[in-house]
Amino acid sequence: MRSPEELTVAFRAAGLKVTPQRQLLFRLLHNNSTHPTADSLFGVASGLMPGISLRTVYQTLTELAQMGEIQSIEVGTGSQRFDPNVSDHHHAVCDECGAVHDVYVKRTPELAGLHGFAVTDAHIVYRGVCADCAGDAR
């Protein structure tokens, strides 16, 4: 996604208002590679802006997703995750710690056998144990 400054301009240009809540979320999402859930973002946001509502977090995330600034992904962990990285990539989920890592694949396998299916998107979810969790014997 674009920088908070660029988003500020983009929002105004789109007739949307730039509120403190939105600006905070712009900042929390910028360069964020943790693939946060709405609730985890709400947790961090609440610490910095007591009183911000979970509803507002959801709404802002939905808007950003509709504008194409972030993507919403589903990796099987129960709740939606949001990703400011909108480049073409996939994800690896650690079954130990729940971390979601970005994965870049050379060539996504083509669909074979399913004649007539027009693919618009393909998403690979890897599951396993991440380096951090494997490294430590505990």
Partner DNA sequence: ATGCGTCTTCGCAATGATTGAGAACAAATA
Partner DNA sequence: TATTTGTTCTCAATCATTGCGAAGACGCAT
The binding site for DNA (CB under 7 A) comprises: 11-12, 15-22, 37-39, 51-56, 58-60, 62, 78-80
Site for Zn ion in 7-36 (CB under 5 A): none
Binding flag, residue 122, a second copy (CB under 8 A): yes
117, interface contact from Zn ion, DNA, a second copy, none, CB < 5-8 Å by kind: a second copy
Site for a second copy in 49-108 (CB under 8 A): 74, 76, 92, 94-95, 101-108
What's the CA gap between 84 and 32, in Å, rounded?
Answer: 7
Q: What token pair was written down for 37? A: 């859930």
Give the range of 1-9, 13-21, 32-40, 124-132 binding Zn ion by CB under 5 A.
Answer: 124-132
With CB under 5 A as the contact rule, the residue among 5, 39, 74, 96 that binds Zn ion is 96
Binding flag, residue 16, a second copy (CB under 8 A): no
Three-state secondary-structure class, residue 88: coil
User: Where do we find the tokens 């500020």?
Assistant: 8
CB of 77 to Zn ion, least distance (A): 13
**Cα dist from 111 to 6, 96, 103, 115, whole Å:** 38, 31, 20, 8
CA 103, 105, 110 angle in degrees (round to 5)?
130
The residue ranges that bind a second copy (CB under 8 A) are: 74, 76, 92, 94-95, 101-109, 111-131, 134-135
